[in-house]
């Protein structure tokens, strides 16, 4: 539960680095942070999109933030991380040089980007915070990649990225300006951290930043009103995962139990065959029939044991129902959150739009696998 005393205006941020620069993002936007593993390259993607990763069966595009911000990264090191952020109902991965810390700062310490920031479209900056004499730029990924909105599809993502590809001076478009703006803001931030506060002022931009600051302020206020709800909903998640772990264990044990019985029954089948063949060869009829009776009685017992063993379904079924109700509770609270934020316009995003180059992203069956195998010369 959040602390309800004097620190009720607290922001939690994930701090990370790209090149020499320090950035942060609101923790609530972050789904998970993964180590760098293999990224599947896809032909014809712009430089910003590195490719895709397979996150437990879901294909997620990975954006090179350094490239997007126009700063040079450290390259792939052991510290390289992919931050998975929610993006209009989808997920995208953001490649960063390292994830440094979780920052807990008071809302007041989030400063407006100074007016010295010039000719910069800085909508994607929530603000700047000071942390041990360093400045950290707090980014809003949703806005940073706003060009992919409002109804983003993966196709759009790729297309809009393509539009940012370099063009000649006379052909500059909005995306270019954004891209330039990002370059500039980084430049200014760098200058600031080096103590150079004498950059030119762009009045229009300052107005935009003011608007942004107001928006952020309002958002944070709204967030605080719903935070107790989120917190109490997320409290239930550990309970759900504990139940799920128990189910995994129970089903594993039960399955082994049933398989053990089946293995015995299969052995008995071989024994039955052996005795029947013995009769065929003129063996001792009374003795062999006695054996057959014994084995079939044994098999019947095994089959009944299997039926009893399957009663684990009842136990796991009850546990799963508990989990479903926990999830429904969480869902209810998230819907409340969405309503509070007025994010209705973002609903109705098409799901499962196949990624460019992936004509069939759905599960396929053995027959289709065989067709593919054949295409590759397998008999």
Decide whether 41 or 221 has the Cβ nearer to another protein: 41
Distance from C-alpha of 17 to C-alpha of 345, rounded to nearest angstrom: 32
Q: Is the dihedral of CA 187, 189, 194, 196 positive or negative?
A: positive
By CB neighbour count within 10 A (0-12 exposed, 13-18 middle, 19+ buried), where does 187 fall? middle
- Distances in whole angstroms, Cα of residue 365 to Cα of each of 75, 105, 360, 371: 40, 51, 12, 10
Kindly tell me which residue out of 78, 204, 344, 363 binds another protein, with binding defined by CB under 8 A: 363
Of 252-271, binders to another protein (CB under 8 A) are 252, 255-256, 259, 262-263, 266
Site map (CB under 8 A) of another protein, residues 51-90, x = contact: ------x---------------------------------
Kindly tell me which residue out of 76, 201, 297, 369 binds another protein, with binding defined by CB under 8 A: 369
Greatest alpha-carbon pair distance for the chain in Å reads 109
218 binds another protein (CB under 8 A): no
Long-range contacts of 316-325 (CB under 8 A, 24+ apart): 316/247, 316/250, 316/251, 319/243, 319/244, 319/246, 319/247, 319/250, 320/243, 320/247, 322/243, 323/240, 323/243, 323/244
362 binds another protein (CB under 8 A): yes
373 binds another protein (CB under 8 A): yes
Q: Which stretch in 11-19, 121-129, 249-257, 308-316 sits in contact with another protein by CB under 8 A? A: 249-257
> φ and ψ at 229, to 5 degrees?
-65, -45
231 binds another protein (CB under 8 A): no
335 binds another protein (CB under 8 A): no
Decide whether 108 or 379 has the Cβ nearer to another protein: 379
Q: Closest separation between CB of residue 314 and another protein, Å? A: 19
Interface residues with another protein (CB under 8 A) are 57, 252, 255-256, 259, 262-263, 266, 358-366, 368-369, 372-373, 376, 378-379
């Amino acid at each position: 539960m959040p602390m309800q005393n004097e620190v009720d205006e607290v922001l939690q941020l994930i701090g990370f680095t790209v090149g020499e620069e320090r950035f942060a993002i609101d923790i609530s936007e972050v789904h998970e942070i993964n180590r760098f593993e293999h990224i599947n390259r896809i032909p014809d993607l712009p430089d910003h999109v590195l490719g895709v990763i397979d996150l437990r069966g879901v294909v997620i595009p990975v954006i090179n933030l350094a490239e997007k911000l126009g700063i040079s990264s450290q390259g792939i090191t052991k510290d390289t991380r992919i931050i998975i952020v929610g993006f209009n109902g989808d997920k995208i991965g953001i490649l960063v040089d390292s994830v440094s810390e979780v920052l807990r700062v008071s809302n007041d310490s989030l400063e407006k980007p100074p007016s010295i920031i010039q000719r910069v479209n800085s909508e994607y900056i929530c603000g700047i915070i000071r942390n041990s004499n360093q400045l950290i730029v707090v980014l809003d990924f949703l806005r940073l990649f706003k060009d992919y909105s409002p109804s983003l599809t993966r196709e759009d993502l790729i297309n809009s990225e393509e539009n940012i590809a370099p063009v000649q001076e006379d052909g500059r478009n909005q995306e270019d300006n954004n891209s330039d703006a990002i370059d500039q803001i980084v430049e200014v931030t760098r200058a600031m951290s080096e103590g150079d506060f004498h950059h030119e002022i762009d009045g229009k931009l300052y107005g935009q930043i003011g608007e942004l600051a107001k928006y952020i302020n309002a958002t944070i206020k709204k967030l605080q009103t719903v935070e107790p709800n989120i917190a109490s909903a997320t409290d239930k998640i550990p309970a759900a995962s504990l139940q799920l772990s128990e189910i995994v264990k129970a089903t594993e044990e039960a399955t082994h139990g049933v398989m053990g019985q089946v293995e015995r029954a299969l052995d008995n089948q071989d024994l039955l065959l052996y005795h029947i063949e013995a009769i065929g060869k003129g063996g001792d009829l009374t003795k062999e029939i006695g054996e057959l009776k014994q084995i079939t009685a044994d098999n019947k017992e095994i089959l009944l044991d299997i039926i009893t063993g399957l009663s684990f379904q009842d136990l796991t079924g009850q546990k799963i129902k508990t989990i479903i109700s926990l999830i429904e509770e969480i869902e209810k609270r998230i819907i409340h959150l969405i309503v509070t934020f007025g994010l209705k316009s973002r609903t109705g995003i098409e799901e499962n739009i196949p990624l460019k180059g992936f004509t069939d992203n759905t599960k396929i069956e053995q027959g289709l696998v065989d067709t593919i195998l054949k295409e590759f010369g397998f008999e």
